[in-house]
Structure 1
């Protein structure tokens, strides 16, 4: 995949997975990978498709180290791609659970995600970094920090890959939190 990004084997490969829609914030991820790429050798493979594909490809056109792959329903192939990357990068802070971050963690892959939303929950529970939601500069800084400490993050991600929170546990905990907050508001 690094070769596809016109990079050598010592570069860092980020992978991003999701549909091409505004709320996924792929322009932020593209800008962050490009800015980090000015400081370190960074490739980005984005797997997905949708209504924003042409616009995203235009935005990434100036960076030969960003490549787009179509969506896949081959779970084994996706798991292999995730496991082959150095980290998953995610842009959306509006997801409740974030299945792709959970899948990445289950593959032993560190996650770089916004500090709000479901992806951040996966980072807190395992290995990875968060950045300020909606801020491409903060995301670029997180990418560089990840690269500078990648061995540490990969080790942590591998050690914690068995502790991935699943969707059932996530929503059980979320509804318990809602119930607690509701009880507090009735008591007040």
Structure 2
């Protein structure tokens, strides 16, 4: 068994942590012995439920000592693997292994988000013996634009675990024309651009015929709640832990962030048989390429309004066909088998 140490910068259960859990749980069936390292939080209980070992690393300053202890106790017959999700993890690992000199493949997984600095700071890792793993083509392009050599970047797109797909309910085909109920699953934060939806509603009164259900919380909730008071057809639900399971009760998933690195909820909607409408830039645009979903001009509230009005009158057959195209793309490109095969290849070979 190949030891796999997977370091997370958060102990929560957001997209990065959920993706890491799905990855290590699957790789445990492919000859890896994973240990998840993360700050305290619900990810540890989720790891336990998944049969994955985990260790709490209490503070940023504790990482060098924690990694040094693992390296000291590790004498594998072949190389172990260390996966970082934050620059500080990689620096701490390099410092610890400068002493122990264990044969370990070092990978830096970049999920993006959080502004340009997330990509820019990764170029500081260029002197280290590691390869970067981008979770989307958009993230790879951002890393290259910020000084990371393209030759040192691999792409391993996020995927949905089979068990998670099986647990998701499926929307039945459309029997009536037109989209009526629209879901938005997003943090309420400035980069997510929820303001675009409100601008579209302000600009186009006919959108009052559609119902918008927004699932998520964040620092912009108070501001958006003030705007929502003017639109009785829009409801802010706050954070809802089972938001993905609620998607089949809707006719469309709307995504508004123009620079989203990936967009796991877009893939979840596709798996549920729900059509998706996303900006024509960023990770979601990559996800729906080839007809798997629909796009509008990023940052353009009037174009968003026009696309929503078009879908409000779309024939049922067209909507059913669009949902089927999304589901087929999820199964073909974002399945567990495809995702794990890619990760296994990247974590087994020095390349």
Match for residue 129 of structure 1? 294
Kindly provide the CA deviation profile for residues 149-179 of structure 1, in whole angstroms up to 9, marking residues without a partner as x. Answer: 252123321354132143975xx6xxxxxxx
- Matches of residues 105-116 of structure 1 in structure 2 within 5 Å? 105-116=270-281
Match of 2:258 among 88, 93, 102: 93
Partner Cα separation in structure 2 for residue 69 and residue 90 of structure 1: 16
Q: TM-score, normalised by structure 1?
A: 0.74
- Matches of residues 60-71 of structure 1 in structure 2 within 5 Å? 60-71=228-239
2:185, 2:214 within 8 Å by CA — same for their partners in 1?
yes
Partner Cα separation in structure 1 for residue 203 and residue 271 of structure 2: 28
Q: Measured at CA, do residues 123 and 11 of structure 1 come closer, stay the same or move farther in structure 2, by a change above 3 Å?
A: closer
The structure whose residues are more often helix, as a share, is 1
Match for residue 45 of structure 1? 213
Asked if 1:154 is matched to 2:342, the reply is no
Partner Cα separation in structure 2 for residue 127 and residue 36 of structure 1: 27
Partner Cα separation in structure 1 for residue 315 and residue 255 of structure 2: 17
Aligned-pair distance for 1:38?
A: 1.8
Match for residue 97 of structure 2? none
Partner Cα separation in structure 2 for residue 15 and residue 131 of structure 1: 16
Aligned-pair distance for 1:138?
A: 0.5
Aligned-pair distance for 1:29?
A: 1.5
1:126, 1:161 within 8 Å by CA — same for their partners in 2?
no
Q: Which structure is richer in relative contact order (CA contacts within 8 A, separation 6 or more)? A: 1
Pair member with larger Rg: 2
Q: Measured at CA, do residues 145 and 70 of structure 1 come closer, stay the same or move farther in structure 2, by a change above 3 Å?
A: same
Partner Cα separation in structure 1 for residue 207 and residue 264 of structure 2: 30
- Matches of residues 1-188 of structure 1 in structure 2 within 5 Å? 12-38=180-206, 41-74=209-242, 78-149=243-314, 151=316, 152-164=318-330, 165-166=333-334
SS at match of 2:230: coil
Aligned-pair distance for 1:100?
A: 1.1
Q: TM-score, normalised by structure 2?
A: 0.42
Match for residue 177 of structure 1? none
SS at match of 2:306: helix
CA RMSD of aligned residues (A): 2.3
Partner Cα separation in structure 2 for residue 72 and residue 142 of structure 1: 27
SS at match of 1:124: coil
Runs of 5+ unmatched residues, structure 1 = 1-9, 173-188
Partner Cα separation in structure 2 for residue 116 and residue 13 of structure 1: 24
Runs of 5+ unmatched residues, structure 2 = 1-177, 343-351
Aligned-pair distance for 1:79?
A: 3.2
